[in-house]
Structures are given as structure tokens and as C-alpha cells.
Structure 1
Amino acid sequence: MTLEFLTHPSLSSFSHGFFTRRGGVSTGAYASLNCGLRSEDDPAAVRENRERVRVALGAGALRALRQVHGARAVDAASGWDVVPEADAMVCAEPDVALGVITADCAPVLLADPEARVVGAAHAGWRGAVGGILEATLAAMEELGAQRARIRAVVGPCIAQPSYEVGRDVYQAVGSLEFLASGRDADHWQFDLAGYCASRLAGIADVALMGMDTLTDEARFFSHRRRTLAGGGPLGHQISAIMA
């Protein structure tokens, strides 16, 4: 199966891709481009999948993080001996691809076309509320980017009709703008992509890919789909960008 990834015109001057689950070597529930190492998939298969992503992007190196649903952004230019716990990376080096792993959370790719500074963020509701996207913008500015020039794309993630949340999210978000009424007074449908876009205030442009990872089983892994099915193995897709 051919490696499949989605791109967006807003980032057309950068090598980037929102990779689907197609085109890898993993098998069974992880078929086939599972890029998440924190699973029971064969680590050698995951490494091969990540290598295919690196080659597809034309990168010399593909960096990834130990994601923790936090608000820390790190500079990935020099790499690291121990993978840091963080949920976003930035870089101004032209040969380094930044990859974030998702399975319903929002992958957000960002770039300043003039400064040639890029960023990649993993934004679940906790990270988005906690400020991971603002932290990414600030880290890009430290490398010479200007907020008013930055363009961002929120990639495939769980869509509002599929994303039922409880009172914890309602209280954390603190606004009904991105919460539609749910099945009862204690449940809402959360617009994660729209909320992420709202946290990127002041940048040049924010675009949404508008794809639902839960309903599109052929192309995307989904944590919520797995939960609704009663559990089991879970793969993860990767989204990446390089300067």
C-alpha cells in the first residue's frame, strides 16, 4: 500500500504531511503506518514506519517527543539523548522534521515563511486549555519568527459530532462557543479543532483540515473509536513538518 499523507496550501512552501494510517509495515490492529512507540506493536515495525515518513518528507532526521498532554514546547534542532516530555517542537534547521503523534487529538503544524521557522504541536483538550499552542508560538518567536507572519493548520482530529465530553471539559474550556448541547445536561459535543484555532490569536492564518478521525476508520486511528469498541490495541498516526 502506498504511503499516504495530506498537505495544505497554507504550508505549501514547506515539506509537511498529515500522514494517514496507510503505507506502513505494521499488521493487525496496528495496520499499517502506526508511528506510536508506546504500544504493543513491534518496535522494529514502528521504526520502519517512521523511517518511511522521514524519507517521504526528504528530511535528514525525524524528531518525536514523549507526549504528556502538557504545555511545554522545545527546540528540536540539536536533538537529544533522552526524549523530552513535551507536546510541541520548534526548529529553524532545514533538514529536521518535527513529528507529533495523534489518535484523535489535534496535530497542529505551523510555519513562518519568511523566517523559515516551523513548529508542530500535539493538542488534546488538556494541552489546548493549558496553553500548548501559545507556548509553541512563543518558542517560534524565540527563533526569529513573527506571530503576524505565522501560518497554522489544524490537522485531522476528532470532530465535534463525534466528541462527547463531560463536565470536566465544560468547566476547563469555560465557554459555550465550542460546546454544543449533548444527550443530557452533563454532556456536551466539543469542537476541538475550532477551539485550537481560537487559541492561535494574532497569527497570519489558521486553517482546518476538517476530517474526523473517529468516523474515517480506513484512514485514521482513533482512541475514542477504540474506547467505544470496548478497548484493545491502538495505533497512532503522525503529522510532521520541516523548515
Structure 2
Amino acid sequence: MISAKINGVSFFQFPNLLSFPKLRHGVFTRNGGFSREPFKSLNLSMSVGDDEGAVKRNKEIVSMCMDNGELVFARQMHNEDVIVVSGSSSPPFIGDALVSAIENRFLAIKIADCQSVLMYDPEKNVVANVHSGWRGSIKNIIGGTIAVMKERFGCAPSDIFAGISPSLGPCCAEFINYKSEIPGQFWKYMDHENHFDFWRISMDQLRLAGVIPENIYSSGICTKCNTDLFFSYRGEKTTGRFAAVIGMKE
């Protein structure tokens, strides 16, 4: 991934998404905000016990880095519900994937080990942001989101570019009770004893939905191994949530 900085705030970008003039996106780190321990410092979640005033100021920081666009958050439920964000729609948005063709509304997902999968179709000017934890992976929320992009906006999967955010890597994605938690068709993704490669699952789900492999970029960064940069629930338990954001400017 490519590191960027605006007004002292660092975030990462996917190289395959940087060539589109209308598009703005960023995967933010945990640094540069106003929250105090154990949420230090750029926490974007109101539901982890952080001070609401600090979170509000943190959201303003992220918005500023996205050309002061409106941030659209969902109440993430670890399900497969896909929300289409229109010009007239308003919160609460309840689900785990956001899709939009509206400019200046920036789709934001909050994570701390789960994946954010950012998608953009430059032909139809449609963006999507998917919260895919292990439950979302099993339910193939990625494939469900691409199906909505096809049905509602006429997107061709071969036109879609995708980026998989920093998240829990196969080094740390341990599931001791995987036989009862993870369906058997996913066991082929076991990297080593009790550890699963959810990056590879997401890449395969993107490909099976029709996204060209050359259009997919996986960060390959494990959040639990990099708690200096990212919040990690597995690594820290009580912690914040960092944001991944995508949207279009006029």
C-alpha cells in the first residue's frame, strides 16, 4: 500500500485505486486523533466506550482528509445485508456493506481485525465498502455486494477494482473451534494448524464474482502484528476501530 499524509494525518491507499481522478479513498491508522487510551487515538466507533466528543472530532479529521465530504457509517451487524446509499437516504444504515453512485457521500467502515473491501467501478461510477469479518466471509458478503452493484447499477464485475484492507492475517487468524464455527468448504483455506487465510478467501470470492485478478490488491498487512498502526481486537480486546473510506468527488 502507499502511505499518504494530509495535515499530519497518515493513511494508506491502494495503488490500483489511485489512477481515477474522481475517486477518493483511504485506510486510516489508529494515530492522529483525539481519543485517549485504550482508544488512542483516531478511533471512529461510538460503541466501544470512547468519549463521544473525541470520536466526533476524529470523524472530522477523516472527513477533512476526504475533501471534507460527508461520511456515511453503518451500524455493522456481522451479517450479509447490503445497503444502497442514495442522495435522499439517511441514517441509521444497518448492515455490513455500503454501495453508492452519489458524489460527496463517503462510505466508511469501522474495523479492528475484520476486512474492509473497497470497490470501484469507473465505468458506472459506483463505489462500495464491505465489512467482511469471518462471519461475513462465510456468508460471502463480497459476492452479495457485487450482485447488488450488478442489479442496481448495471456494473460489470470485470470493470470493478478492489482493495482488501489491513486485517487479521493467516499468521494470527486462529480458530481453535473451527470445526463448529467454519463450514467445511472453507477448511482448504487453513494456512497452518487452526489458522485460516481470510485474505485468500476474499480474493477468491472477488474472482468468483467476476473481478479480474489484476484489478485486486490485497494489503497483506496483519492488524494484530501491527498494533502500533492499527487497532486489533484479537491483540488488545478493549480497543478502538480504525476507518476505511471510499467515495467520489464532483
Q: Structure 2 length normalisation: TM-score? A: 0.88
- Pick one of 32, 36, 55 that aligns with 2:45: 36
User: Is 1:103–2:112 an aligned residue pair?
Assistant: yes
TM-superposed deviation, 1:80 = 4.4
**Segment of structure 1 superposing worse, 135-144 or 86-95:** 135-144
Q: What percentage of aligned pairs have identical amino acids?
A: 29
**1:194 aligned residue:** 200
Q: Is 2:35–2:51's contact at 8 Å kept on the other side of the alignment?
A: yes
Q: Is 2:83–2:94's contact at 8 Å kept on the other side of the alignment?
A: no
- Cα-to-partner distance string for 1:103-132 (whole Å, 9 max, x where unaligned): 000110000112111000000011111121
**2:127 aligned residue:** 118
**Number of residue-to-residue matches in the alignment:** 233
Q: Structure 1 length normalisation: TM-score? A: 0.90
**1:5 aligned residue:** 11
- Cα-to-partner distance string for 1:126-173 (whole Å, 9 max, x where unaligned): 111112111211222212321110011101001101111122476425
Output the CA distance in 2 between the equivalents of 1:112 and 1:173. 33
User: 1:55 and 1:136, CA in 2 relative to 1: closer, same or farther beyond 3 A?
Assistant: same
Q: Is 2:119–2:163's contact at 8 Å kept on the other side of the alignment?
A: yes
Q: Is 1:91–1:143's contact at 8 Å kept on the other side of the alignment?
A: no
Output the CA distance in 1 between the equivalents of 2:137 and 2:180. 11
Unaligned 5+ runs, structure 1: 183-187, 228-232
Letter in 1 for 2:192: S
Unaligned 5+ runs, structure 2: 1-6
- Pick one of 34, 56, 66 that aligns with 1:47: 56
Q: Is 1:59–1:97's contact at 8 Å kept on the other side of the alignment?
A: no
- Pick one of 222, 235, 240 that aligns with 2:240: 235
**1:203 aligned residue:** 211
**2:185 aligned residue:** 174
| Root-mean-square deviation over aligned CA pairs | 1.7
Output the CA distance in 2 between the equivalents of 1:170 and 1:39. 25
**1:15-164, aligned counterparts within 5 Å?**
15-78=24-87, 80-141=89-150, 142-164=152-174
Three-state SS of the structure 2 residue aligned to 1:139 is helix
Three-state SS of the structure 2 residue aligned to 1:37 is coil
